Amino acid sequence: MNDRIETAPETAIHACPDCDLLQVLPELAPGDKAQCARCGRTLVARAHDPIDRPLALTLAALLALIVANTSPLMDLSVVGRHASTTILGGAYEMWLEGQEATALVVAFCAAIAPAAYVLSLLAVLLAARRPPGPWWIGEMLRVTHAMEPWSMVEVMMLGILVALVKIAELADVAPGIGMYAVGVLMLLLPAIQGSLDPEEIWTRLQWVAGENAAPPSPPVERAP
Amino acid sequence: MTSAPLTGAQSGLLSCETCGLLAQPADAAEPGHCPRCGAALEWRRPHSIQTTWALVVAAAICYIPANLLPVLGTTSLGATEYDTIMGGVVFLYTSGSWPLALIVLVASVMVPLGKLVAIGYLLITVQRGSIRSNRERTRLYRMVELIGRWSMLDVFVDTFTVALVQLQPLMSVQPGAGVLFFAAVVVLTMIAASTFDPRLIWDAGSEEES
């Protein structure tokens, strides 16, 4: 495949993903960001500690995820009767009430996508600690990217709070351990995203086409 | 000005949508796969305009029953009361928590409608080959991508209310048909945002220059 496609040296030239403008980026120090000169999109954000810091945060997120999914989100008591619900318990109740499609959407956005995001990122970061990581780690990183918009932990958190206020009109409700875990997860996920440097991870992975590192490629030709 | 800005497409260079690697495919008609991450390479997202229009129209159709049909039914001592999304907002407002009422109103009613209008506007301006306020339109696109997920709020509220309030025969809450349409609006508009290619906004201008 390499003889068919020529590639630019890994850091020199970037095409903006939002407006396709070609631009040469200067050498960036950790903590620096480069924005597209034309549309303002962030092209590269160099992290201070690109592997170990997101790894620590991801491990913490994994623990919060486990607690959030196994503990009750809230407890209800009214005239001596008690009830509680978990994340997947909520989706399951929707399924039982005949809303199968909605139940699947909720289960996906509230539990499956966050779990897939955290687990795939964990695999990626562990592999990237000892470069070159095997090529299939790239597939994992693709899963991470794909899950990001569908992982709606912060939306769910607000949803739980609104439900809590609504039900408080009808009965006594108290937040459970699961809700606090969701709150912790809600803070950890953006922290992970802020400390992550996908560019750095990609350079540490083995190429699908077989090369360990970037193949020595000739400088990209300028168009006439 | 020394020279017009050069885009990847104009110079025969293609950036991988997954890993950002810039590649020069040997065959421009069939770019093949990214040598680094293996994703299929594409000059622009395939059939971006048609696919996005189809999703926007489908979402706009679902938006009507999502707002008219009840999302929750509360059965209390044998009598069942149904609530639409707006009914839920009014309930929150009258029960004294107007900040939450405002959040739900914005997330459930205004954001989905705003998203439909915004994506429609982007599609129309791209189809007309507009070259004005490209930067603002790109920013609008990024905003649509960012806030779209918040519309899922009401689906979560309904789910957890239904899950918790099951105290038969005293009181119970059932989901209404509106929830399904509402979730469909959110999912369809989120997919529409990902099928729209923001680079098309900038392509119109660069064609005229070259």
Task: Give residue A71's pLDDT.
Answer: 93
CB contact under 8 A, B92 and A166: yes
| Residue A82 pLDDT greater than 70, yes or no | yes
Q: What sign results for the dihedral spanned by CA atoms B164, B168, B172, B178?
A: positive
| pLDDT at res. B206 | 67
Residue A214: is its pLDDT beyond 60? no
Token pair 């590639």 is found at A7
pLDDT given at position B143: 94
Identify which of B54, B53, B17 has the alpha carbon closest to the alpha carbon of residue B37: B17
Report how far residue B183's alpha carbon sits from residue A98's, in angstroms, rounded to the nearest whole number: 15
Say yes or no to pLDDT of B209 above 60.
no
Report the percentage of chain A scoring pLDDT > 90: 42
The pLDDT tens digits for A137-163 are: 888 888 899 999 999 999 999 999 999
Task: Please name each of the domains of chain B with its CATH number.
Answer: 1-43 (no CATH), 47-209 (1.20.140)
Better-predicted residue by pLDDT, A64 or A24: A64
Rounded (10°) CA dihedral A77, A73, B87, B96: 70
- Taking a contact as any Cβ pair under 8 Å apart, which residues of chain B between 2 and 41 contact chain A? 5-15, 17-27, 31-39
Using a CB-CB cut-off of 8 Å, the residues of chain A touching B166 are 83, 93
Cα–Cα dist A86/A89, whole Å: 5
DSSP B174: E
Overall average pLDDT of the A36-44 stretch:
89
Res. B54 pLDDT band, cuts 50 70 90:
very high
Q: Phi/psi of residue B196, each to 5°?
A: -75, 135
- Which residues from chain A sit within 8 angstroms of residue B21, using beta carbons? 7-8, 10, 202
Write down the pLDDT at residue A211.
53
Sorted by sequence, the CB contacts under 8 Å of residue B47 that are 6+ apart come out as none
3-state secondary structure (DSSP) of residue B184: helix
At B92 the pLDDT is: 86
Q: What pLDDT does A152 receive?
A: 94
Q: Identify the H or E element spanning A173.
A: strand A172-175
DSSP state of B71: S
Q: With 60 as the cut, is the pLDDT of residue A126 above it?
A: yes
In angstroms, the Cα distances linking B52 to B29, B117, B146, B192 are 23, 13, 17, 5
pLDDT exceeds cutoff 50 at A219: no
DSSP secondary structure string for all residues of A104-145: HHHHIIIIIHHHHHHHHHHHHHHHHTSSSBPTHHHHHHHHHH
For chain B, give the number of residues.
Answer: 210
* B26-35 pLDDT, tens digit each: 787 888 888 8
Dihedral angle computed from the Cα positions of residues A59, A200, A132 and A140, in that order, rounded to the nearest 10 degrees = 50
Structure-model confidence comparison of residues B2 and A65, the more confident one: A65
What confidence tens digit (pLDDT) does each residue in B131-174 have? 888 999 999 999 999 988 899 999 999 999 999 888 877 788 89
Chain B: give the shortest CA distance to residue A57, in Å: 23
Tell which phi-psi region holds residue A189, choosing left (phi > 0), alpha (psi between -120 and 50) or beta. Answer: alpha
Min CA distance, B5 vs chain A (Å)? Answer: 7
Which of A80-84, A215-219, B128-132, B197-201 is the most confident on average? Answer: B197-201
Q: Tell me phi and psi for residue A133, to 5 degrees.
A: -70, 150
pLDDT digits (tens, 9 = 90+) for A109-124: 999 999 999 999 999 9
Tokens representing B94 are: 């009258």
Contact partners, residue A183, CB within 8 Å, separation at least 6: A157
- Per-residue confidence at B20, pLDDT binned at 50, 70, 90? confident
| pLDDT score for A108 | 96
Out of A41, A73, A170, closest to residue B160 by CB: A73
**Alpha helices by DSSP H, chain B:** 48-68, 85-94, 98-105, 111-127, 134-147, 153-164, 178-195, 199-209
Cβ <8 Å between B92 and A105 = no
Two tokens, residue A54: 């997101």
Kindly report, residue by residue over B170-192, the tens digit of the pLDDT: 788 899 999 999 999 999 999 99
Task: Reduce the DSSP state of residue B94 to 3 states and report it.
Answer: helix
Q: What are the angstrom distances between the C-alpha of B122 and each of A181, B111, B119, B125, B206?
A: 39, 16, 5, 5, 17
Average pLDDT over residues A22-28: 85
Alpha helices in B5-110 (DSSP H): 48-68, 85-94, 98-105
* Cβ <8 Å between A165 and B97: yes
Interface test with B, best of A5, A142, A172, A205 (most B CBs within 10 A): A5
ipTM over cut 0.85: yes
CA distance A82 to A155: 26
